[in-house]
Structure 1
Amino acid sequence: MPTPPWFSQLLEVSDVLAAKHRAYVADWPGDPEDENDVPPLLLRLADLGQVLAERSAELTPEQTRQVFRILEEVMTSGSEYDGTAVATGFFEALLNAWDNGFDLRAVWDDVGPESRAYCLAWNKFGGVESPDWMR
């Protein structure tokens, strides 16, 4: 499946995200001569969620807001495939990072309503009590 245009916009937000994505794709055991032989979108988004959590201090507040704006747009207006990849890839990786010490509260105000709803539902599904600041 081809990479959706919004994913390129996401990478253009930050050199940190773009550089990590290039490294992730370069390590993919596919055919390096085939530009379409890349990891599935869900895996690439999970990697970016982890990168954002690990290196959030390297993004400006505006870059962080822009990342979450793009992802919220996909969640609300993208295809079902893309929205599911964002939810189960990026946001589940971000919640996992929160479980491991990432300060999710620091970026929570930038997370859009549909994305927040998914995170809250995922917490509920997993038996994780969401703190008041998430609601």
Structure 2
Amino acid sequence: MTTPAWWEELIGVSAVLAEADRAEIRGWRGPAAQDGDDVPPLTVRLGTLGRVFAERSAGFTPDQTRELFRLLEEIQAAAGERYANAVATGFFEALLNAWDKGFDLRSVWPALGAHSRAYCRAWNGFTGVPTPDWMR
């Protein structure tokens, strides 16, 4: 999967996200890579962003957090099934995994849109994790 047109806007939300993506690409390509080499699969890149956001969310401004989740919601709602699935299985599964390990998902829950929330609740159901009242 090639890098979609919306990718730069997504990682442009924060220097933290942009650097995490650059590091993921460097790690994927290895030290002998040329500029034209492939990038990691989109789901992997989105998973990295989800993990990094969870680890460093305290350093994001409220505006950055809202913008990140607005863009993710827009992608899920309007960019097509392939990209919606990549966001869900990359970013949101990484975020939910971080929640299982102590990330305060409740603190950012208000910023999530309807598609994002629905996926999180569905993933909880699929994995057998009880969905707390604040997620409903």
TM-score when normalising by structure 2: 0.95
1:97 aligns with 2:101: no
1:23: how far off?
Answer: 0.9
CA distances 1:24-82 after superposition (whole Å, capped 9, x unpaired): 11111467324450100000000100000000011100000000000000111112111
| Conserved? CA contact 2:50–2:90, under 8 Å | yes
In structure 1, stretches of 5+ residues that fail to align are none
C-alpha separation in 2, matches of 1:118 and 1:14: 24
More displaced, 125-134 or 29-38?
29-38
Which residue number in structure 1 is paired with residue 134 of structure 2? 133
2:100 equivalent to 1:76? no
Question: Residue in 2 aligned with 1:10?
Answer: 10
CA distance in 2: counterparts of 1:9 and 1:93, whole angstroms: 20
Quote the residue 2:23 is aligned against.
23
Q: Amino acid of the residue matched to residue 43 of structure 1?
A: V
TM-score, length-scaled by structure 1: 0.96
Matches within 5 A, 1:38-117: 38-117=39-118
How far apart are the structure 2 equivalents of 1:84 and 1:34?
Answer: 28
* Residue matched to 2:33: 32
